[in-house]
């Protein structure tokens, strides 16, 4: 791997979305904890639905597996029926939170500025925000991938200072490759990751940009993991459907385990 990434450990996060029962989720967490006990070569996490977070955090307490929420509101409290706040996530044991996932942007209409408010709120409560960015198929075919990524990245990080940028993980997820079975080629993904790191270098300095983790998501499976993770600018993976079955997720973890960052 790129020597610039030498001190990094590859990151793998499984996003369950709106799937599983509580019983299934707890059993999965127990089995995952047992399966990767003693493996220190990666950073592993799962993103269960809100209502499972407390139980799963309890199961994983004391392990190296981090628990991430799939979303949060930009305010710490208030009259926002149906929403969840950063301090609530922190209280039940979450360490990370997805922010700006394409399904939040395109299905629920969240814009860059709302997402930026969430990023800053997460940081203020010592949650690690995973900022998700990526273009639609129409935007890619129109040649606008870099324009979209630049806008989402700049707006998402607006007002985030150099002293806290290290707390953020960037996830590049081309919308056209999420849950479609289509995957950006390793070279396509790496090109966008390289572009993202260039922007981060311009805004925060090359040394800091080298240390930031930029992970890829979009129809990640066991059979394309190796090709993706061996790209020099891909620091990990955000896995959707392939994380729902434990054996599939463990296979992906085994591939990452052997990568020398």
Q: Is 16 exposed, middle or buried (0-12, 13-18, 19+ CB in 10 A)?
A: buried
| Dihedral of alpha carbons 91, 97, 101, 105, sign | positive
Burial class of residue 12 (count of CB atoms within 10 Å of its CB; 0-12, 13-18, 19+): buried
Distance between first and last Cα of the chain? 6
- CA 160/CA 245 separation, integer angstroms: 36
**Phi (first) and psi of residue 36, to 5 degrees:** -110, 10
Rounded to whole angstroms, the Cα distance separating 252 from 55 reads 25
User: Of the listed 103, 135, 139, 173, which one is catalytic?
Assistant: 173
Tokens 């930009």 -> residue: 74
The one catalytic residue among 73, 101, 110, 135: 101
Please enumerate in sequence order all residues whose Cβ is within 8 A of that of 152, keeping only pairs 6 or more positions apart, or say none: 100, 112, 133, 134
Tell me if residue 173 is catalytic: yes
- Active site positions, annotated: 101, 173
């Amino acid at each position: 791997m790129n020597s610039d990434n030498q001190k990094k450990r590859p990151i793998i996060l499984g996003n369950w979305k709106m799937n599983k029962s509580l019983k299934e989720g707890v059993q999965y967490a127990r089995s995952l904890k047992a399966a990767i006990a003693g493996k220190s070569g990666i950073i592993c996490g799962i993103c269960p639905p809100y209502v499972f977070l407390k139980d799963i955090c309890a199961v994983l307490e004391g392990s190296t597996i981090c628990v991430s929420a799939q979303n949060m509101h930009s305010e710490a409290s208030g009259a926002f029926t149906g929403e969840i706040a950063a301090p609530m996530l922190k209280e039940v044991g979450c360490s990370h939170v997805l922010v700006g996932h394409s399904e939040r942007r395109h299905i629920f209409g969240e814009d860059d500025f709302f997402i930026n408010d969430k990023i800053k709120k997460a940081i203020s409560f010592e949650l690690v925000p995973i900022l998700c960015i990526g273009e639609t198929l129409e935007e890619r075919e129109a040649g606008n991938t870099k324009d979209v990524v630049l806008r989402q990245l700049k707006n998402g990080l607006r007002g985030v200072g150099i002293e806290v940028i290290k707390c953020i993980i960037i996830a590049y997820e081309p919308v056209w490759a999420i849950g479609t079975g289509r995957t950006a080629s390793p070279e396509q993904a790496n090109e966008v990751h390289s572009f993202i790191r260039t922007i981060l270098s311009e805004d925060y300095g090359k040394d800091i940009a080298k240390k930031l983790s930029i992970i890829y998501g979009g129809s990640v499976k066991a059979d394309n993991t190796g090709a993706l993770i061996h790209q020099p600018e891909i620091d990990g993976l955000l896995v959707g459907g392939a994380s729902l079955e434990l054996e599939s997720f463990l296979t992906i973890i085994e591939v990452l385990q052997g990568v020398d960052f």
